[in-house]
Structure 1
Amino acid sequence: MKQTLEVDEKIFQDAVRFYGNIFNLPPLASKIYSYLIFDFNKVGITFDEFVEVFSASKSSVSTSICLLLNIQLIVDLNKIDERKRYFFANDDYKKIRFEKIVQKMKDELKLMDELKKFRKIDHNEVDEKNEAYKELLNKSIINIQESLNKL
């Protein structure tokens, strides 16, 4: 089996590093995901091609694919006339990524409110900085949500 996709090695390595860091992926999962972003025509990549292209064990590829499916970075499809599963980068990954960022900001706002209630003592200087930070978080949440609605 030959490699289905044309891949630029430098861009691929940059993508592996970037997505590995941004999504906290293990190396093989990052390679699989990065490889899939070169599937511009959405033909899909089979399990066997991943095994061959990355010279990895079937169990390692399987583990990485399961991880990527669970965190919704990839999707799979079974074609009617074939037993093979084809894997694709999830087109909604940007939306998913930013929804998680918004949720983390909301969680942080909630935690800050709980800490303020627990503290019970006014610290005007600290409160001013916290309020400015909360305002920044709230504005960022609104901005991101408005952009997400466009996706």
Structure 2
Amino acid sequence: MKIDKEIFSEMVNFYGDVFHIPPLAAKIYAYLIFDFERKGVCFDKFVDVFSASKSSVSSNLNLLLNLNIINDFNKIDERKRFFVMNENFMKIRFEEIIEKMERELSILHNLKDFRNTSDESALRKFEIYTRLFNKNITNIKETLPQL
């Protein structure tokens, strides 16, 4: 598998921050992104590539599996498990983003009702904020089926 070290490093930092995962888990995920043919990477390869202990690799793979970020499979002619990116993860991730935005919108509407203000400036900012949320929610919902 061919990997660009600069892009790999950038991805490790980014996904570690975005997914709130430990560095080794971010490295594993970034490494799997370079598996463009989706052949899968076996456990031993991760141990070799990252010079990490088997227990560290195992616990980080399990974390990524539990978060639905990666999937595993077995080939018919081999006992080894192979790991790949979860093709549906981006869709899952954006569905969670929509859910969080809708939840925040609901909270904001409840807060607005509770405050019951006639302050035009505050009401205008609230309307702009809710329009922005609604526009982004609609945009993501319309784009998701294309993924």
How high is the TM-score relative to the length of structure 1?
0.90
**Could you give the per-residue CA deviations for residues 96-127 of structure 1, whole angstroms, max 9, x where no partner exists?**
22112111111110110121222234333212
> Partner residue of 1:142?
138
Q: Can you give the 5+ residue segments of structure 1 that lack an aligned partner in the other structure?
A: none
Aligned residues: 147
- Measured on the aligned residues, the alpha-carbon RMSD in Å equals 1.3
List runs of 5+ in structure 2 lacking aligned partners: none
Match of 1:63 among 50, 54, 59: 59
User: Which deviations, in whole Å up to 9, do the C-alpha atoms of 1:69-103 show, x marking residues without a partner?
Assistant: 12211111112232211000111222122112111
Q: Aligned pair 1:114/2:110, yes or no?
A: yes
The equivalent residue for 2:25 is 29
- Could you tell me how far apart the structure 2 residues matched to 1:55 and 1:40 are? 23
Aligned with 1:76 (options 54, 72, 95): 72
Tell me how far apart the structure 2 counterparts of residues 85 and 93 of structure 1 sit (CA, whole Å).
Answer: 20
39-48 vs 120-129, which deviates more?
Answer: 120-129
Cα deviation, residue 20, structure 1: 1.3
Name the % identity: 53
Q: 1:129 aligns with which of 121, 125, 145?
A: 125
Distance 1:114 1:26 in 2: 36
2:93 corresponds, among 76, 92, 97, to 97
Cα distance in structure 2, aligned partners of 1:150 and 1:40 = 20
1:18 — aligned with what?
Answer: 14
Look up the SS of the partner of 1:86 in the other structure. strand
Tell me, in whole angstroms, the C-alpha distance in 2 between the residues paired with 1:22 and 1:114: 29
- CA distance in 2 between counterparts of 1:56 and 1:35 reads 14
- 2:41 is aligned with 1:40: no
The one-letter code matched in structure 2 to 1:46 is C
Q: Distance in 2 between matches of 1:128 and 1:26?
A: 41
How far did 1:59 drift? Answer: 1.4
Counterpart secondary structure, 2:38: coil
The 10-residue stretch of structure 1 (76-85 or 35-44) with the greater mean CA deviation from structure 2: 76-85
Q: Which residue identity lines up with residue 143 of structure 1 in the other structure? A: N
